[in-house]
Amino acid sequence: MSDAEFGCEHLRDVLERDERAAGQFHQSLLHAYKGQPPKPAEIRSLKPFYPCLECSTLVNRDSVTDSRTNTIFCEGCDDYVYDAELESFLFDPSGLKKRKHGDPETDDDQAYVGANASKRVCGKEGVRGLFNLGQTCYMNVILQTLLHDPLLTTYFLGNNHHTYDCTVQNCISCAVSEAFAEFNNDDKAEGFGALNLLLASWRSSPILSGYQQQDAHEFYQFLVDKLHAGTEDHVEDHNKTCRCFFHNAFYGKLRSSVTCDKCGNVTQMEEQMVDLSLDVQVQKKKRALGGGEMSTTPTLDGCLQSFTSPEKLMADAYNCSGCGNTPQKATKQLRIRKLPVILCMQLKRFEHTLSVSEKVEGKVDFPLSINMLPYTTRTHASNNNNSFTYDLSSAVVHKGKLDAGHYYVYCRQGEQWFLFNDDQVTAVNEAEVLSADAYLLFYTLHALSGSK
């Protein structure tokens, strides 16, 4: 008998125990499959309820079914299991046949199932979904991104935030630290809900409170700001040098240079940045003005080039100090003065005008690795190119309309990519990640050594 004949050895024991036990199991499975879901008032837990398939009650037993997906969860295996004959039974209960020894599937089918089946298909380290607590997919995708970053994992699991003696009310750092501890709990593999982070966010920001959909990009900015503010050695004034962990991890610096077209006077200003907001339409607009081809797919490199390219300012937008503070035409250029370790890039898909707010659809090509040197204030190549090389770690996608969409995220765990759609986790390949219509891209510095 091959392993593929039954979902697992525990399921085999139930179905082969006797005809009465097998019959009870089949009837319970059919009832769970066709039954009505529980009413909201009956749900007392964020986790799915599991009706037992051996006694039909809501208790933990060897074999239960997930109320959301009707898939069978085996408590003995501590994992979901798949049984082809039970799936056939659900579609045609009248066609149930007694399993017999010596009557296996064909050799070819057995070879296929054996090569593609695993009793622990989701039992991978660092792969846990997050329950949607009510329009909280925006929070889940950002939290998954942070949970899969090795630098942040080292920080929080290393007890660098002392939750045991923290006296800050509604502390975001405590809530995130708790999420890291739960996520890396080796004794659990199922999804969990980041309820304390949600509540702390609501209490810290009235804008976030409630079950309405939020912008994942804005939540990322809020979370980074709160983590920075919750560090003991942080400097509140962003115009002063801050050497705290989160400042170095998340914050970079932009330099704005304005050159007077008349006298050549240069005015420079620097400001903190926690991400780069890139216009995905600017390349198409420039090609349209120049009579170029508009069908070419925009690229991340092209968006960065447009972001750091010189921009002409009209005379009413700039007063030159070298020309007696009189209005002059000038050229403005943005460059990156300092890069953070974790670089977030927003591909601006939400446009707001006085008359309308709409979402900009369209694919933007992005790479698995990118050299950020051409977009910095450095004029010459560095001896240490690793200081500017970034690897893709996460890609957040928004599907749907502006005010009624859904977020999911692709995250890299080691060398493998996974799709996290709330508590549903799926292994994917690089090609699927690169074909995504990303909204937020997170890149991590390839090597932490060297100066920027």
Is the residue at 404 inside a domain? no
Residue located via tokens 């200003």: 269
Is the residue at 417 inside a domain? no
Is the residue at 270 inside a domain? no
SS3 content of the chain, % helix, strand, coil (to 5): 35, 25, 45
Is the residue at 66 inside a domain? yes
CA distance to 252, 263, 267, 290, 452, per residue, from 257 (Å) = 17, 15, 6, 26, 19
Catalytic machinery residues:
137, 406
In DSSP terms, which residues pair with 333 in a beta bridge? 257
Is the residue at 401 inside a domain? no
Which residues in 310-342 are b (16+ Cβ under 10 Å) and which e? eeebeeeebebeeeeeeebebeeebbbbbbbbb
Task: Check which CATH number belongs to the domain holding 36 and give it.
Answer: 3.30.40
Q: How many CB atoms lie within 10 A of CB 300?
A: 20
Is the residue at 406 inside a domain? no
pTM: 0.69
**What is the domain extent for residue 60?**
3-116
Nearest to 440 by CA among 389, 406, 394, 405: 394
284: left (phi over 0), alpha (psi -120 to 50) or beta: alpha
pLDDT tens string, the chain, 452 residues long: the values are 333 466 677 777 887 777 777 778 877 777 776 665 444 444 444 444 556 766 655 444 445 555 444 567 777 776 666 676 776 676 667 666 656 444 343 344 434 333 433 333 333 456 899 999 888 999 999 999 999 998 999 888 887 888 888 888 889 999 999 999 999 887 777 889 999 999 999 999 888 888 788 899 999 999 999 999 888 887 877 677 888 889 889 999 999 999 999 898 999 999 999 999 998 876 555 555 455 555 578 899 999 999 999 989 887 888 888 888 888 889 999 999 999 999 999 998 766 555 556 667 778 999 999 999 999 998 665 555 677 899 999 999 998 876 678 999 999 998 899 999 999 999 999 999 999 999 999 999 987 633 33
C-alpha span between 183 and 148 (Å, rounded): 10
Contact 267, 292 (CB under 8 A): no
Q: What total number of domains does the chain contain?
A: 1
Is the residue at 327 inside a domain? no
Is the residue at 194 inside a domain? no
Torsion angle, CA of 274/276/277/280, rounded to 10 degrees?
-160
